[in-house]
Chains A and B, each alone.
Chain A
């Protein structure tokens, strides 16, 4: 079993839709949870960061962490074609290296 599982998609939605991206994990020691966005032919860039459980909101993006279920989510409201990218979840325990999911490819069509 992989430490981090992420549905690779692709996920195709119309502009304006609410998008839900998810990851599950097996290591209960994970405390830092991140979402990276990777545009085609670019390196990943940090989008959202959460420590431990709870929600975090930044504009149209909301990150949720449910440690009891070992489940994290990224919600995108009012999705735009510019949101079309691959979204990678990543997580780590204190001082450990980041473990990445495989990434979910999102396509938002006008």
Chain B
């Protein structure tokens, strides 16, 4: 299994500001995934981050709004830019692993509230 640490665990932000979330994994992984979990909605994949290349964004998510860095095989950041109250959500970092095909390990999440 993988141990994933996220910072911050929670934050309250002002409209129009940006916040960067950090994700650290205890082992080297090829792909890291960023998810959003909004109240009453499905866990939704934002983007896949590969080391050494641009992140791949899912439909509905764009790099200008959610820039991602992946400087090495154990670390990634997700920035939520120019925040609005609609960005209030839990953001989760995850990696593949385990024995089941497609099994994901998740961090504890970063709970953002935008005022």
A2 / chain B contacts, CB cutoff of 8 Å: 42
Taking A8-B40, A32-B100, A32-B101 as contacts, is the C-beta distance between A97 and B106 under 8 angstroms?
A: no
Assess whether A88 is in contact with B43, with CB atoms less than 8 Å apart.
Answer: yes
Instruction: Report if B92 contacts A (CB, 8 A).
Output: yes
Assess whether B106 is in contact with A43, with CB atoms less than 8 Å apart.
Answer: yes
B92 / chain A contacts, CB cutoff of 8 Å: 43-44
Return the CB mask of B81-111 against A: 1 if under 8 Å, else 0: 0000000000010100010111111111101
Instruction: Report if A92 contacts B (CB, 8 A).
Output: yes
Taking A8-B40, A102-B41 as contacts, is the C-beta distance between A34 and B109 under 8 angstroms?
A: no
User: Size band of the B side of the interface?
Assistant: 20 to 34
User: Size band of the A side of the interface?
Assistant: 20 to 34
Chain B's nearest CB lies how many Å from the CB of A31?
9
**CA distance in complex: A34, B101 (Å):** 10
> What DSSP secondary structure best describes chain B's contact surface?
loop
**CA distance in complex: A8, B39 (Å):** 10
Contact residues of A between 62 and 110, Cβ < 8 Å to B: 88, 90, 92, 97-103
Residue of B nearest to A91 (CB): B102
Residue of A nearest to B33 (CB): A97
Instruction: Report if B45 contacts A (CB, 8 A).
Output: yes
